[in-house]
Amino acid sequence: MPDTQTLPSPPATVVAWGDPDRRSLRLLDQRALPQAEVYVTVQTLDALVHAIRTLTVRGAPAIGVAAAMGLAAVAAREPALTHARLAELAEAVAAARPTAVNLRWAVNRLLARAAAERPEQLVAALADEAQAVLDEDIAMCRAIGEAGAALLRDGMRVLTHCNAGALATAGIGTALAPVYVAHARGVALTVHADETRPLLQGARLTSWELQRAGVPVTVLPDGAAASLLARGVIDAVFVGADRIAANGDVANKVGTYPLALAARAHGVPFYVCAPWSTVDAATRDGVAIEIEQRGRDELALAGDRVVLPDGVPVFNPAFDVTPRALVTHYVTDRGLVEPPFTS
């Protein structure tokens, strides 16, 4: 059993109920970080879908929790909720982003709970199920932290990509959970975080939460990661995942694949940390994973400054796929697991 005296608390509350009646959702607006800690309240379907699409909430586990709680909150405001209307609401939420499997997983879980309830019981049942998703996500993070902390030793230097920490979950994160558990137990670690172009999740989010937790962190350009690995100053790479196919191929933030190639070239172990809900046994391999394409402005603009000439097209995938052969271990809330994944 985990020693609760040495398990850290998350550095910020990412997702929570917005009121005691569970009729709204409160989200940390991650677009405002690190300049400001801003919270938004979600009460409508449009606001929930907008929050997911615009990355107000991001990270596969956090998206799943927000989807479950947000769907329950929105459903509670329906004047006469029916199973048919709930199905409409659920599909709109599930379609907000295509790649992260946790989003549809969470929505389907609420639908499965609702199927066994009478219409007058739907609101309470949905809220209870959403609360269970939240509680389980927090426990999941701790379990991943426990499993992954066993891979860390005093003085190790860890490289990570994007943000798979507390800001990506309801708990202490996935890829950073082992770091937080080890740090809380007095293990001296340092973290290098890729800035993660084009939205800079590593620079804006990972560095913010690690600094807040007292973990030494250095930010580097994505393009410098291979050089850093070549210098022999990184002992392990820890990343998260938005979807893991049955054969072990991993969809994660774009830039993960070249990082895995560089880690393999320089003999550095590459660990993928994710909850079991991110494993999609129905998707045979990475080729079958739909990759979300983001808008042109994310590359064409740097703040208010235009950095691309008019008419120049962009290729802006949000994710890439890392082949199973490049993954050293999969760290989940079920421990260290290996593909193929069947359920």
24's tokens: 């709204």
Residue 216, phi-psi category: left (phi > 0), alpha (psi -120 to 50), beta (remainder): beta
Cα 335 to the center of its chain, rounded Å:
18
Cα separations in angstroms, 42 against 1, 28, 53, 123, 135: 36, 11, 14, 17, 20
d(CA 106, CA 63): 9
Which residues, in sequence order, are CB contacts of 10 under 8 Å at separation 6+? 141, 166, 169, 170, 171, 172, 173
Q: With H, G, I as helix, E, B as strand and everything else as coil, classify residue 8.
A: coil
Give me the active site residues, please: 242
d(CA 178, CA 180): 5
Which residues, in sequence order, are CB contacts of 122 under 8 Å at separation 6+? 75, 81, 83, 86, 114
The C-alpha torsion from 236 through 241 and 245 to 246, rounded to 10°, is 60
